[in-house]
Amino acid sequence: MTKEKITRETVQEMDQNDTLRAFRSEFYTKDNHYYMDGNSLGLLSKRAEDAVLTSLKDWKEHAIDGWTEGKEPWFYMSEKIGEKTAPLIGAKPHEVINTGSITANLHQLIATFYQPDKSRTKIVADTLNFPSDIYALQSQIEQKGLKHEEELIRVESQDGYTLDEDDIIAQMDEQTAVLLLPSVLYRSGQLLDMKRLTNEAHQRGILVGFDLAHSIGALPHQLHDWCVDFAVWCTYKYLNSGPGGVGGLYVHEKHLGQKPGLAGWFSSKKEKQFDMEHTLTPAETASAFQMGTPHILSSAPLLGSLDMFHEAGVEAVRSKSLQLTRLLMNLIHQELSDFGFQIVNPLEDERRGGHISLVHPEAASICKALKMEGVTPDYRSPNVIRLAPIALYISFEDVYDVVLILKKLMEEEKHKQFKNERGIIA
Ligand SMILES: Cc1ncc(COP(=O)(O)O)c(C=O)c1O
């Protein structure tokens, strides 16, 4: 932690030196409001809005011909977005496709790559993963006629918040078929060492998949070079595609050309799709892992949003994000040490994702009070407050203000007027 006192002047100077500060005006932000929840739903940008309007105009003007004749032809949009996403995850363009959701894509890729045989039947995951991933794994194991209670191994956490890579490696054995882990843990924001885990798994003949929900758009990846077998992600968090925005998947090129576990007509090679044959000719790219008609209006925002990442550069986004989260932790240390908060995310840069995770017994009521005071935090039951200072639209001074608002609220016990329990969505 820094020893020098952080003042408003300190953070104002940081803002002046911020090479990404111009991007803030591209987003719909509100005056006197601090949005710290971009790790759940990113803000709307003007470019994303324009991209949706373009697709609506294409529909208005071209009707069915919008599939091929529109300004952004819908028939090729998923591939185009895949290509634009590839640099964010260190993939080749044909290894990525915009499609589905995390849960649907996980079903697809587990159905494809989990082929239990006599010796390898187990999937290794973890006890801290997002429930939907676990449900998908459980049901895929059942689909193969096996019992998930026997075949799904969930690595335990020693502290309840983070995972030790050594514990994960210890669970990899000659019975393991697939390893599926989050890149960044959704609660604590721990960034796992994807390269090391992939290496260790491959040495034991295990296929590796990652859920990039909390890392895509927040930090760089090198999925192709690390030889990661597959990955899934959503786009409504750091990539700002909007509520229910279409997700994406990656499959390493060494696996391309094979039949998808769950096929549909959009799995086809594009030139063959409209031959309407009953024998599928799968695309030789990640396109093969699509199923049905793409959700154009929920994909289109990415065309605008991803351009900003290309202009900013994901390394610069990561560098500012690390500065923001470090500042936030230092300020919490400086201003909030009397109020019983515990930082549970890893402190080291190389083990930290894009959000800070604060534990407090009154987390639910504190989050409600923060909202009343103009700060949108993110609450995870039973006691976690997640704060995500997003590099493209949060300033260093915003972070300073948020901590001072939180301090005042705690001093005046404003949270006591709220029940310390979660709402229907939290
Ligand atoms: C880590 C993680 N995995 C999976 C999901 C579920 O994603 P989806 O609803 O897009 O399938 C989420 C949703 O927030 C998530 O954070």
CA torsion, ordered 105, 111, 113, 117, to nearest 10 deg: 160
Ranges of residues in the chain whose predicted pLDDT is under 70: 1-2, 425-426
In angstroms and rounded to an integer, the radius of gyration of the C-alpha atoms of the chain is 22
At 162 the pLDDT is 97
Residue 140 CB less than 6 A away from ligand 1 = no
- Cβ–Cβ contacts within 10 Å for residue 60, how many? 9
- Residue with the smallest CA separation from ligand 1 atom 14 is 40
At 1 the pLDDT is 58
- Give the mutation target among 106, 132, 232 for probing the ligand 1 site: most ligand atoms within 8 A of CB: 132
**Quick check: 304 and 239 in contact, CB under 8 A?**
no
How much distance in Å is there from the Cα of 131 to the middle of ligand 1? Answer: 8
pLDDT digit string, tens, across residues 121-167: 999 999 999 999 999 999 999 999 999 999 999 999 999 999 999 99
At 422 the pLDDT is 79
**Quick check: 107 and 136 in contact, CB under 8 A?**
yes
Q: Please determine, looking at this structure, whether the domain spanning 8-31+313-415 carries the CATH number 3.90.1150.10.
A: yes
Bridge-based pairing of strands 34-35 and 122-126 is unpaired
Sign of CA dihedral 426, 128, 406, 414: positive
Residue 112 CB less than 6 A away from ligand 1 = no
Is pTM, for the whole model, over 0.85?
A: yes
Return the closest-CA partner of residue 353 out of 199, 256, 238, 195: 238
How much distance in Å is there from the Cα of 186 to the middle of ligand 1? Answer: 9
Sign of CA dihedral 59, 310, 250, 216: negative
DSSP 352: B
Dig out the tokens for 51 from the structure.
């991209």
Return the closest-CA partner of residue 379 out of 398, 365, 393, 395: 365
Bridge-based pairing of strands 378-380 and 384-387 is antiparallel
Question: How far, in Å, CA of 176 to CA of 209, rounded?
Answer: 13
How much distance in Å is there from the Cα of 136 to the middle of ligand 1? Answer: 11
The fold for domain 49-310 equals Aspartate Aminotransferase; domain 2 (3.40.640)
**Quick check: 266 and 108 in contact, CB under 8 A?**
no
At 423 the pLDDT is 78
Domain chopping of the chain, boundaries: 8-31+313-415, 49-310
How much distance in Å is there from the Cα of 133 to the middle of ligand 1? Answer: 8
Three-state DSSP at 65 gives: helix
CA torsion, ordered 144, 165, 135, 103, to nearest 10 deg: -100
DSSP characters over 104-128: HHHHHHHHHH----SS--EEEEETT
Residue 21 neighbours by CB under 8 Å, 6+ apart: 15, 395
